[in-house]
């Protein structure tokens, strides 16, 4: 099993550009989530999904969109990147929140 | 609202010292879960422990131990005889899986173990 995979590992964007961070898991988990990690703030939940076709907002959803068309994939879209979105992004999957497996992270810089 | 506070931003110890990382939480829920994660310099997040609100028994796993006290809303983590490989950022987190599926993390404590 590959576990939770994220692509790309690193990305640099200009303000206003759009992009999609990819997340995939091969553990057949229903629950998937996206977090951002900023210095001194721990991880904050952006969006989560409890199954295919179901998504919901977390603590900091503004500026991000998600969709869940399959159990395996949970992409995170930035429609118009802003410098405030410079962060490390982690995707996670699990059987609910009780045991989440995290991906390796994507380091995003918005200039 | 749920909140997790890790007051210790950075801790530095010498190898073989014992060290305790503090975690204080706030929640109005009666059913909740507490977690500790480790983030080594390589950046990945490693699950260490989960504890539910109805189980206040202390847990020991090798050199790691956890002390859960509902009376003080604390879930502290102790590393005995620390080693250089314990150097990492440690996060405490709180969730209510029956509610909005939200998980709140503390800001993390950076532990440096010097040889």
Over residues A55-82, the mean pLDDT reads 95
Specify the DSSP class assigned to residue B70.
Answer: G
Are the Cβ atoms of B9 and A58 closer than 8 angstroms?
no
User: Residue B90: its pLDDT value, please?
Assistant: 98
- B102 contact residues in A (CB cutoff 8 A): 45, 48, 58-59
Cis peptide before A19 (omega within 30 of 0): no
Q: pLDDT-derived band of residue B100, with 50, 70 and 90 as boundaries?
A: low
For B7-57, what is each residue's pLDDT tens digit? 999 999 999 999 999 999 999 888 899 999 999 999 999 999 999 898 888
Phi first, then psi: give them for residue A5, nearest 5 degrees.
-115, 145
pLDDT value of position B30: 86
Q: How far is CA A6 from CA A65, A92, B14, B109, in A?
A: 16, 10, 36, 25
A43 vs B contacts (CB less than 8 Å):
45, 91, 93, 105
**Distance from chain centroid for Cα B32:** 15
Percent of chain B with pLDDT strictly greater than 90? 75
| pLDDT at site B101 | 64
Query: Closest partner residue to B102 among A41, A58, A105, by Cβ?
Result: A58
What number is the average pLDDT over the span A87-104? Answer: 88
The answer to whether the Cα torsion of A104, A71, A78, A12 is positive or negative is positive
């Amino acid at each position: 099993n590959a576990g939770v995979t994220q692509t790309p590992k690193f990305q640099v964007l200009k303000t206003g550009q759009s992009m999609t961070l990819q997340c995939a898991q091969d553990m057949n988990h229903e629950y998937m989530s996206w977090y951002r990690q900023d210095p001194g703030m721990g991880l904050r939940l952006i969006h989560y999904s409890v199954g295919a076709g179901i998504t919901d907002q977390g603590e900091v959803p503004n500026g991000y969109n998600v969709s869940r068309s399959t159990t395996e994939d949970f992409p995170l879209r930035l429609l118009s990147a802003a410098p405030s979105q410079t962060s490390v992004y982690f995707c996670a999957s699990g059987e609910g929140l009780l045991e989440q497996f995290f991906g390796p992270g994507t380091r995003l810089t918005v200039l | 609202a749920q909140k997790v506070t890790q007051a210790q931003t950075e801790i530095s110890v010498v190898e073989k010292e014992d060290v305790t990382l503090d975690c204080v939480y706030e929640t109005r829920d009666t059913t909740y879960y507490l977690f500790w994660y480790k983030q080594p310099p390589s950046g990945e997040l490693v699950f260490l422990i989960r504890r539910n609100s109805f189980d206040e028994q202390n847990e020991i796993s090798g050199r790691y131990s956890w002390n859960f006290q509902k009376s003080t809303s604390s879930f502290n983590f102790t590393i005995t005889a620390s080693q250089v490989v314990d150097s990492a950022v440690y996060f405490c987190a709180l969730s209510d899986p029956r509610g909005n599926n939200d998980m709140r993390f503390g800001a993390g404590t950076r532990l440096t173990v010097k040889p």
